[in-house]
Amino acid sequence: MKILIIEDEPGIISFLKQGLEEEHFEVHTCTNGKDGIELMLRESSDLVLLDWMLPGLPGIEVCKRFREHNSKTPVIFLTARDTVHDTIAGLQSGANDYIKKPFHFEELLERIRVQLRTSLKEPAVLKLADIQIDVNSHMVVRSGNEIYLTQKEYELLEYLLRNKDKVCTRKEIIENIWNIHFDYNTSVIDVFMNSLRKKLGLHKQDDLIHTIRGVGFIARES
């Protein structure tokens, strides 16, 4: 996730940059309004933090002009100006939020997350070597070919992949996929394990889904 900071005070820039990078955002910066617009339009960031007072072009003008070309990317004002009038003007110019300095970094972070929430979809694809499953569409692909799994087969595979590199005991599997919380002496797992492996084209030497005798199974790449 790419965040663009347009702000002229070096102290605030480095404070923000450091904090956001620790949260694994990719941070770009700019210290004046004119270049700011350029970057906003060119860099296709996922979110913009915009200072109110900027050399040259005021922040509110930057925001307005940006919105003429891009109405989607969230913009958050960071500002020392704290009058109702300014807040309103800021929001009317097309910003999505308006945060007053001094602010707590944690709150800023959370407000950033709120804005990104809509565009931030949870990781939808799970991988195991050349097997990929999309948890939204339930589509399973192995090396380019779609594989049709039944409900239970799919659930079993998803469960194993969500717990990649971790042994899934028979008990855990039965509890989580079959919702049986007692009387585990059934061999359904084996039956589904069998058809799953068949459909995926796995063989003993393919060490993608291992059997741990006496315990359960594990999905692991070589």
Partner DNA sequence: CTATTTCTTTAAGCCAATCTTAAGTTGAAA
Partner DNA sequence: TTTCAACTTAAGATTGGCTTAAAGAAATAG
Nearer Cβ to a second copy (30/209): 209
Q: Which of 134, 191, 201, 221 lies at the binding interface for DNA (CB under 7 A)?
A: 191
Binding mask 151-170 for DNA (x = CB under 7 A): xxx----------------x
Instruction: Read off the tokens for 74.
Output: 């969230």
179: left (phi over 0), alpha (psi -120 to 50) or beta: left
193 lies in the binding site for DNA (CB under 7 A): yes
**3-state SS class at 83:** coil
CB of 114 to a second copy, least distance (A): 5
Identify which range of 25-33, 62-70, 131-139, 210-218 contacts DNA by CB under 7 A.
Answer: 210-218
Size of the site for DNA (CB under 7 A): 24
Cα dihedral sign for 172, 174, 178, 180?
A: negative
Please identify, among the stretches 8-16, 47-55, 66-74, 206-214, the one whose residues bind DNA according to the rule CB under 7 A: 206-214
Q: Are 49 and 90 in contact (CB under 8 A)?
A: no
Whole-angstrom CA distances from 103 to 16, 26, 47, 128, 152 are 11, 21, 18, 43, 49
Contact residues for a second copy, defined by CB under 8 A:
71-72, 84, 87-88, 91-92, 95-97, 104, 106-107, 110-111, 113-114, 118, 121, 136-138, 150-151, 165-167, 212-215, 218, 220
- Token pair in block for residue 14: 């480095």
If DSSP codes are grouped into helix, strand and coil, which group holds residue 195?
Answer: helix
**If 0-12 CB within 10 Å is exposed, 13-18 middle and 19+ buried, where does residue 74 land?**
buried
Q: Which positions touch DNA (CB under 7 A)?
A: 148, 150-153, 170, 178, 186-188, 190-195, 197-198, 211-216
